[in-house]
Amino acid sequence: MKLKILKQGSYKRFLIFVFISATLTISLFQIGCSSSERQVDDEQAAKASLMKFLQAFENGDMEIMEASFSENALVFPPVFMTNEESPPIRTLDYKRLKGMSTSMRNLVMGFRESSKSPPYMSLEPKDLEIQMFGEAAIMTFHLENGNSLSRRTIVLAKEANLWKIAHIHASNVIGSE
């Protein structure tokens, strides 16, 4: 078996190649680690924005609630599903709205006009699931209150390093028990 001895110039090129390959491998590994760390940071920041919004809702703080929404946010107002008799449904009342819904505003204004003081309610998200998609976070959770179950899907978008609500879809189920 013959060993081929590299010429002086070839050996230097070989060492340069090994050095560049190692540097590139380390750089790609660091980029991968940095990317996953950034995703964890974004997830925590998006969750903090959601919790700030829910706390503002509990306290009837309309200013913070409105500041939580993206300028182009869309909202599907909550629908109450029940097996009880109810008045006829006006579908116009349940179409997509831009910004914070009128029903949400009216609810907060009603709380603020009551004789109670904040917090007016408890909005503790149950079964919170967060899915990150780059500059977007999809959050789904439940709110439980006796025999009612409220389901929420809130999409947040990162705008100028702030997580803002871009979409809310709300539905409620009231049990007959």
Residue 95 placed within a domain: yes
160 or 172, which is more confident?
160
**What domain count does the chain have?**
1
Domain hosting 115: range is: 43-174
Residue 52 placed within a domain: yes
Residue 66 placed within a domain: yes
Alpha-carbon distances of 158 from 4, 31, 47, 142, 149, rounded to whole Å: 58, 21, 12, 23, 29
Least confident residue range of 13-22, 101-110, 156-165: 13-22
Dihedral class, residue 99 (left if φ above 0, else alpha if ψ from -120 to 50, else beta): left
Residue 126 placed within a domain: yes
Q: Which pairs with CB-CB distance under 8 Å and at least 24 residues apart come from 91-99?
A: 98/72, 98/73, 98/74, 99/66, 99/69, 99/73, 99/75
pLDDT at 102: 78
Strand partners, 148: 145, 174
Q: What are phi and psi of 5, to 5 degrees?
A: -90, 130
pLDDT at 101: 77
Residue 83 placed within a domain: yes
pLDDT tens sequence across 49-75: 999 999 999 999 999 999 999 988 888
pLDDT at 163: 97
Residue 27 placed within a domain: no
Whole-model pTM: value is 0.71
pLDDT tens sequence across 85-98: 666 766 666 666 67
Residue 18 placed within a domain: no
Question: CATH number for the domain including 148?
Answer: 3.10.450.50
Token pair, residue 160, equals 């100028």
Residue 54 placed within a domain: yes
Residue 15 banded pLDDT, cuts 50, 70, 90? low
- pLDDT for 154 beyond 90: yes
